Structure 1
Amino acid sequence: MPQKKPAKDQELSMDTMMDSMTNVVGVLLLILILVQIQISTAVETIETTLKNITAKDIKQLSSRIAEQNKNLKDVNVAEINEEYKKAMGDVDEAQLRVNIYTEQAEKKSSGLLDVKELIAKKSEKKYEKDLEAEIFSDLNEERQRLDALLAKTPKPKIPAGVDIVVPAGMPMPKDPNIVKVFCKHNRLYYMRTDIYEKTFNAMFEQQKSSMVYSNYVDPKNKRTTVWYDHNKAFKWLQGAVTNMANADTNLQFRTWQRKDQEWMWVDLIPAPNGGLGMDIFEERNNQFRKDLIQVKKNYKNVLWFYVYKDSLEVYLKAREVAQTVGVTSGWEFYRWGGMSARVTQARVNRLVERKKPVVRVAGRKKNSAIQIAGPKKTLD
């Protein structure tokens, strides 16, 4: 006889069965929720798309359905049955009827298939339209941003154009005498630095005996060189510069003590109201033209213009006059505000020794352990 199962085993079987049923119910509920979500999403998509279908689209769809229904009336069912019988001889009569019915049902429901196709087409067009609208919006925002930046950007002021005529080239004479003309403040200044050097040397010649510092004998050529006291020479030069400034109002004469140098220098700076201005060119026989006629008498004289950044206009006028007279001339842009003249007779002692420039010492080359073979002379 079969033995009766203990009560404990029956309780375990009931618990297992209840757990299984709970799992099954949970799975079914989960499937039901997912199906409901999918159906809700599909219905929402169809409703949104159907709102965009116009009366014109419905009219076109109705005409297509009417045309298909008309074609269905002309279907010969008997002929279709015969074709199925020939193609499917092993299928019974009931199966054939089912197949024919299915085919006719699909043909009659082709209108529904067209509705699905129309919905998909409308959805695709809506996506493309939204994408184009988004791109247009981004481009419009970028254009507005660039317009705002352009409105804030100050427009540069373009200076008026200047007609420049290229002068005819003239050969430079051998060993030329350079006549310096400084163009600054839109005026012309004769910078005869050689004349000023001779003038200061002549003035120093009269006072140098009281300023001797030492007599230096060069060991190489045994020549004696006289050195003058730096402080005394500088004090004398200050007085000489003041006297020269009172005599010549076209230039400003300045000097200062360069303690690390052994020569005395005088800076020649054009005075704002000195020199020859633009107004002289209104007359044909002006002072600058007369000066150039005197310069031309010596064929070795060459007129050289030093053009400061504010005086291109006066240079062009002066160059035109020089070309008319026939004086050889040249020019260069000059970035300094003046020139210097050296008092060659006043060689003085240095009060401060110059600092030697720092020279970078090359380090010792290390022998590399890496050896690179040279190129092969023959092919293997």
Structure 2
Amino acid sequence: MDTLTNVVGILIVMLILAQVNASRSAKKLAEALKPITIEEFNETKAALDKIQQALAEAKKLQAQPELIEAELAKKKLAIAQLEQDLAARKVPLIELATLQQKISEQQKLRDAAKAAMSALLAERDRLLALLQSTPVPVVAAPKIVRIPKSRPIPDKASFQRFIVANQRIYHVDVDLGMRLIMDDFNRSKLTLEKERTQRNGRPFTIYDQVKVVDYFAKRKPALKDVEATVMPNRPGAQLYVIFQPKPNAGKPLAEILPLNSSYQNLLRSFRSSTVVWFHVVPDSFDLYLQARDLCDQRNLSAGWEISGPAHYETLTGFEVAPLEAAPPAGP
């Protein structure tokens, strides 16, 4: 009996020690576990439920292998149907390398477009900077243009001509220029003859066009503002005389306004039967108005015409041989 009591006592002591060790181990395990939140607990529980559901389905399939075979048959049938549809549509399968190449090409096009856009933006910024740095032009004040007073052309009027161009006015003394040309021609006309003939019962001389033009190319009449040039007229029987402004000749507006200017002195020298005629280049219309006003102040008749080139032309008084046939007359 004592022995049994001892054994029971020993067992009780061992049980107490085992419980103590178990409590300590549980406490250490609890201390080692990381605390979790309610959300983490719910997520873990949901994952565990999915695993348990998958295990249940796996056990179901293991218990019924014919279900696995049926499912595999369905998948194979679906794959076969898909392959058949692709073959019917003739849709080529794009290789990955080809697709990557196309993507690379599109990226290059995109980069080129971005570079072009950057260049355009830079040019826009440059032009905007130039525009901002460009001074705003000052608009000239409006000018009041007065139409000159018209006067009748006197009987037996003589004309004095002026070219108005380059903001300068040039006197074209046609009478003096033609007189000098004809005087020079008459002194040498025997050497310039082409042929002698009869016209209206009288002797008539036709002159050599080339010789006459070459002759006057070396002899220019001495005129103040303009230069007179005898020009060829290949199909014509008379030659042109062209009066053109000389370089650095003529008078600007500031030099014709004074009462004792050469222009106003020239106007005073004209007879009352003189008509002052202006050949005006459009760039000098304002100067013409001032010059015309001075004519009105002198009670001189005046007129004007628009002149494209800055020159005046007339014909010689003698006949030359044409160098080529005249073009046919228009209908």
CA shift, 1:275, in A, is: 1.3
Q: Max radius of gyration: which structure?
A: 2
Q: Taking structure 1 as the reference length, what is the TM-score of the superposition?
A: 0.47
- 8 Å CA contact 1:196, 1:341 repeated in 2: no
Aligned residue type for 1:327: L
Secondary structure of 2:219's aligned partner: helix
- 8 Å CA contact 1:197, 1:342 repeated in 2: no
CA shift, 1:157, in A, is: 8.9
- Hey, what's the Cα distance between the residues in 1 that align with 2:216 and 2:201? 30
CA shift, 1:228, in A, is: 1.4
Task: Indicate whether 1:291 and 2:266 are aligned.
Answer: yes
Deviations 1:73-124 (A, max 9, x none): xxxxxxxxxxxxxxxxxxxxxxxxxxxxxxxxxxxxxxxxxxxxxxxxxxxx
1:352 to 1:324, Cα distance in 2 relative to 1, 3 A: same
Q: Which residue of 2 aligns with 1:271?
A: 246
Q: Which residue of 2 aligns with 1:163?
A: 144
* Alignment match of 1:317 (pick from 290, 309, 322): 290
- 8 Å CA contact 2:162, 2:170 repeated in 1: yes
- Hey, what's the Cα distance between the residues in 2 that align with 1:230 and 1:200? 15
CA shift, 1:325, in A, is: 2.2
Q: Which residue of 2 aligns with 1:355?
A: 327
1:354 to 1:303, Cα distance in 2 relative to 1, 3 A: same
CA shift, 1:158, in A, is: 6.0
Unaligned runs of 5+ in 1: 1-154, 360-380
1:328 to 1:259, Cα distance in 2 relative to 1, 3 A: closer
- Hey, what's the Cα distance between the residues in 2 that align with 1:161 and 1:260? 48
Secondary structure of 2:244's aligned partner: strand
- 8 Å CA contact 2:177, 2:223 repeated in 1: no
Q: Please give the residue correspondences for 1:125-274 in structure 2 after superposition, counting only pairs within 5 Å.
A: 160-218=141-199, 221-241=200-220, 244=221, 247-248=222-223, 250-274=225-249
Q: Which residue of 1 aligns with 2:72?
A: none
- Hey, what's the Cα distance between the residues in 1 that align with 2:301 and 2:285? 19
- Hey, what's the Cα distance between the residues in 1 that align with 2:260 and 2:330? 58
Q: Which residue of 2 aligns with 1:333?
A: 306
CA shift, 1:312, in A, is: 1.1
CA shift, 1:274, in A, is: 0.9
1:186 to 1:204, Cα distance in 2 relative to 1, 3 A: same
- Hey, what's the Cα distance between the residues in 2 that align with 1:202 and 1:317? 36
- 8 Å CA contact 1:185, 1:311 repeated in 2: yes
Q: Which residue of 1 aligns with 2:120?
A: none
Unaligned runs of 5+ in 2: 1-135
Aligned residue type for 1:250: D
- Hey, what's the Cα distance between the residues in 1 that align with 2:299 and 2:322? 48
Secondary structure of 1:289's aligned partner: helix
- 8 Å CA contact 1:307, 1:331 repeated in 2: yes
Query: Percent of aligned pairs with the same residue?
Result: 19
Deviations 1:309-368 (A, max 9, x none): 1111211211222222222222222223211233213x2212211132364xxxxxxxxx
Secondary structure of 1:340's aligned partner: strand
- Hey, what's the Cα distance between the residues in 1 that align with 2:299 and 2:184? 37
Secondary structure of 2:184's aligned partner: helix
